Amino acid sequence: MDLSVQESDQGAQAIDQGALAMVMDSLDGDLRLAQMRQVHGCEVAVVSAPGWSTADALVTTHPGLALLVRSADCVPVLLSSAQGVIGAVHAGREGMALGVVPSIVDNMRLLGAQQISAWIGPHICGSCYEVPLDLQQRVGRLVPEAICTTRKGTSGLDLGAGVISQLHESGVEVEYVGGCTLEGADFHSFRRDGEMAGRQAGIIWLPKGDENDDQGWPG
């Protein structure tokens, strides 16, 4: 299912409302949705109501408010805590290097989160993600764990390894859902499909009346 976002002539966010409604109805028809205009940065938005934020990470403590992150090759991360604080992150190459992952963990802890768990969704793997050597070195100076060699023997970046290292350094437990978006025919990939690429989505929420049961990877 494609849950991509496009900019309309009026600057509004144009999405396939039918596809999105189908996803939301399959989860919980009473959920409200918070979404991001993802800009490959490190901005974290703490939200309490549905709508759009220009950010690459969302945090909430409000039951019934679902957080949605879209991705193609970047790393989608969903985070939860026993203290009723949840988050969603779009960690691309630049966002990872800028520290969006440790930033969202810090924001969650400021809201009372203690034991935080993270789920890492499908993204392009290091064996496929070839980048110029100077780009690899620039990112590697900030996140050395992301440096890798592709299966072609060229310079690459392993975004998943970089994000996992940042989560571990922040004291977060990690579960790797896995899957390479470029190799997997069931996934959308910008590297593979270019401007025509769709987006998959990860959604996390605190159900009303139960602040400790959350997560989802539809889309």
Which CATH number belongs to the domain containing residue 153 in this structure? 3.60.140.10
Residue 23 in any domain: the answer is yes
Looking at residue 199, what is its pLDDT?
Answer: 76
Looking at residue 178, what is its pLDDT?
Answer: 80
- Cα gap 29→40, rounded to integer Å: 30
State the residue for tokens 């859902």.
Answer: 177
Looking at residue 25, what is its pLDDT?
Answer: 55
* Domain encompassing residue 71: 5-204
Looking at residue 29, what is its pLDDT?
Answer: 58
Residue whose C-alpha is closest to residue 24's, from 162, 167, 201: 201
135 alpha-carbon distance from chain centroid: 22
Residue 111 in any domain: the answer is yes
Looking at residue 21, what is its pLDDT?
Answer: 56
Residue 210 in any domain: the answer is no
Residue 92 in any domain: the answer is yes
Looking at residue 217, what is its pLDDT?
Answer: 43
214 Cβ contact list (under 8 Å, min separation 6): 80, 86, 204, 205, 206, 207
Residue 130 in any domain: the answer is yes
Looking at residue 109, what is its pLDDT?
Answer: 98
For 101, the token pair is 């992952």
Q: In total, how many domains does the chain have?
A: 1
- Cα gap 196→4, rounded to integer Å: 10
Looking at residue 185, what is its pLDDT?
Answer: 78
Looking at residue 111, what is its pLDDT?
Answer: 98
Residue 215 in any domain: the answer is no
- Average pLDDT for runs of 10 along the chain of length 219: 43 48 56 94 97 98 95 95 97 97 98 97 96 98 98 98 98 92 82 71 85 46
Residue 218 in any domain: the answer is no
State if pTM tops 0.75: yes
Residue 14 in any domain: the answer is yes
